[in-house]
């Protein structure tokens, strides 16, 4: 199976299947599949006619302080949603039986917001936040503490959000959470860390060059409308993050990048654009106290209070009809991907139109497109989403 690259574009969904062979009679089942996609597209058109403005407050309204969490009768965990004075929204979970505890922070900014002259800046910032804070200045303190106590961390940068997460054994949750919080309170973003982390981003890029999934993703980006942020090179590399034409050393070449990085952080990493989820063993009151103590200092002002929006279509304005692109793979595989643009589904998250569509297209039961193509020996698998 191809690797799963980071998410690329809000409102873009695709169906794909692995072909067992590449034979001319494959075209006949394609017609049936395309009919299903046509029906799906018509259903999406109904969604397009909805009044999206009426849903916007559901995604971004932070003016409420209490939400009742609906859970299963068999769920013994306790839940509480609350909003800190700085606008940070929090979902806390108390589970006295948990053998692992965790936290995840999601920030509503991703590589769509990269400056045109610095592709990969959001991803680079993700790396830099691990490199120490004013309260915990040691670059290795966070990772070392987690490793010493059976924990680990991860992070990823997507198109419109960046996510940070960790888990650890229950006894060490409080100090781990406080160290984690400082990512968003006062990170150092030191010049001494810049060169090393740019090289880490470069190594990621080199690895991705040998991945068919990443190559396909970048190919699709390259044919997007240049006015839409989906065309941007989200991962970044040494060439995009530092001035390769400058003859000086690496530190001097990256000097301008560090200034842009700090400006990007101040502009986008503000509490109203963050969502925190935590699960711990402690009683709910103690969990809330921990969160308030560690995260109330996250800046609330000085940046954009809401995510950026883009009105340009994903496809070039000059594009007419469908477009077929063939890519020679690195690995021995035959993969067909059909992509089409949908409206921003998060604005109507209760309706879950995209989930219904992907379920119908990707269904593999008797009588489905997948079952028919498998019976004829034309595919190995089909997925949609």
pLDDT of 211-259, one tens digit each?
A: 888 998 888 888 888 888 989 999 999 989 986 544 456 666 677 899 9
167 is catalytic: no
pLDDT of 258-269, one tens digit each?
A: 999 999 999 999
Please tell me the predicted confidence (pLDDT) of residue 79: 96
Tell me which long-range contacts 367-371 makes (C-beta under 8 A, separation of at least 24). 369/29, 369/32, 369/33, 369/36, 370/17
- The secondary structure element, H or E, covering residue 153 is strand 152-157
- Best-predicted range by mean pLDDT (80-84, 222-226, 302-306): 80-84
CA–CA distance, 296 with 373 (Å, rounded to integer): 55
Mean pLDDT of the chain: 82
CA–CA distance, 41 with 38 (Å, rounded to integer): 5
Structure tokens at 70: 């609906």
Which candidate in 73, 126, 204, 255 is catalytic? 126
Q: Which residue has the tokens 């809000």?
A: 10
Q: Which tops the pLDDT comparison, 313 or 363?
A: 363
Cα distance from N-terminal residue to C-terminal residue, the chain: 16
Structure tokens at 316: 């070039």
Instruction: With beta carbons less than 8 A apart as the criterion, state whether 135 and 182 touch.
Output: yes
Average pLDDT over residues 17-41: 52
CA–CA distance, 163 with 183 (Å, rounded to integer): 12
Q: Is the model's pLDDT at 171 over the cut of 60? A: yes
Instruction: With beta carbons less than 8 A apart as the criterion, state whether 141 and 207 touch.
Output: no
Instruction: With beta carbons less than 8 A apart as the criterion, state whether 230 and 312 touch.
Output: no
Q: Count the neighbouring beta carbons within 10 Å of the beta carbon of residue 238.
A: 19
Please tell me the predicted confidence (pLDDT) of residue 255: 76
Structure tokens at 89: 């929204």
Q: Is the model's pLDDT at 54 over the cut of 90? A: no
User: Beta strand 101-107 with 274-280: parallel, antiparallel or unpaired?
Assistant: antiparallel
Instruction: With beta carbons less than 8 A apart as the criterion, state whether 110 and 160 touch.
Output: yes
Instruction: With beta carbons less than 8 A apart as the criterion, state whether 315 and 339 touch.
Output: no
**DSSP, res 209:** T
Q: Count the neighbouring beta carbons within 10 Å of the beta carbon of residue 206.
A: 11
Residues 6+ apart with CB under 8 A from 47: 342, 343, 348, 351, 353
The three-state (H, E, C) secondary structure of 313-375, written as one string: CCCCCCCCCCCCCCCCCCCCCCEEEEEEECCCHHHHCCCCHHHHHHHHHHCCCCCCHHHHHHH
Q: What is the four-CA torsion angle of 168, 171, 175, 179, rounded to 10 degrees?
A: 0
- The secondary structure element, H or E, covering residue 156 is strand 152-157
Q: Is the model's pLDDT at 365 over the cut of 60? A: yes
Q: Which of 26-30, 143-147, 205-209, 219-223 shows the lowest mean pLDDT across its residues?
A: 26-30
């Amino acid at each position: 199976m191809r690797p799963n690259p980071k998410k690329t574009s809000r409102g873009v969904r695709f169906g794909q299947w692995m072909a067992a062979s590449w034979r001319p009679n494959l075209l006949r089942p394609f017609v049936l599949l395309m009919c299903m996609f046509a029906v799906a597209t018509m259903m999406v058109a109904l969604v397009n006619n909805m009044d999206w403005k009426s849903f916007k407050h559901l995604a971004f309204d932070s003016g409420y302080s209490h939400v009742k969490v609906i859970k299963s009768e068999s769920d013994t965990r306790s839940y509480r949603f609350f909003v800190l004075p700085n606008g940070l929204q929090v979902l806390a979970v108390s589970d006295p039986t948990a053998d692992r505890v965790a936290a995840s922070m999601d920030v509503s900014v991703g590589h769509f917001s990269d400056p045109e002259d610095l592709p990969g800046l959001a991803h680079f910032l993700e790396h830099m936040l691990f490199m120490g804070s004013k309260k915990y200045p040691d670059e290795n303190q966070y990772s070392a503490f987690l490793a010493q106590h059976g924990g680990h961390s991860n992070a990823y940068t997507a198109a419109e959000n960046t996510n940070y997460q960790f888990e650890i054994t229950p006894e060490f949750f409080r100090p781990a959470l406080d160290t984690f919080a400082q990512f968003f309170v006062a990170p150092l973003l030191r010049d001494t860390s810049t060169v090393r982390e740019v090289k880490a981003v470069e190594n990621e890029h080199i690895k991705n060059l040998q991945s068919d999934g990443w190559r396909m993703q970048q190919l699709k980006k390259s044919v997007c409308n240049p006015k839409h942020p989906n065309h941007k090179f989200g991962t970044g590399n040494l060439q995009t993050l530092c001035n390769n034409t400058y003859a000086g050393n690496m530190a001097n070449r990256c000097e301008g990048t560090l200034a842009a990085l700090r400006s990007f952080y101040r502009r986008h990493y503000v509490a109203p654009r963050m969502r925190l989820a935590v699960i711990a063993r402690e009683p709910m009151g103690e969990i809330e106290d921990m969160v308030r103590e560690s995260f109330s200092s996250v800046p609330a002002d000085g940046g954009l209070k809401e995510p950026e929006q883009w009105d340009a279509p994903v496809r070039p304005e000059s594009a007419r009809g469908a477009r077929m692109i063939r890519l020679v793979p690195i690995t021995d595989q035959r993969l067909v991907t059909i992509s089409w643009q949908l409206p921003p589904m998060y604005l109507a998250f209760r309706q879950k139109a995209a989930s219904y569509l992907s379920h119908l297209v990707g269904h593999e039961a008797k009588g489905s497109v997948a079952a028919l193509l498998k019976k004829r020996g034309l595919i190995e698998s089909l997925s949609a989403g």
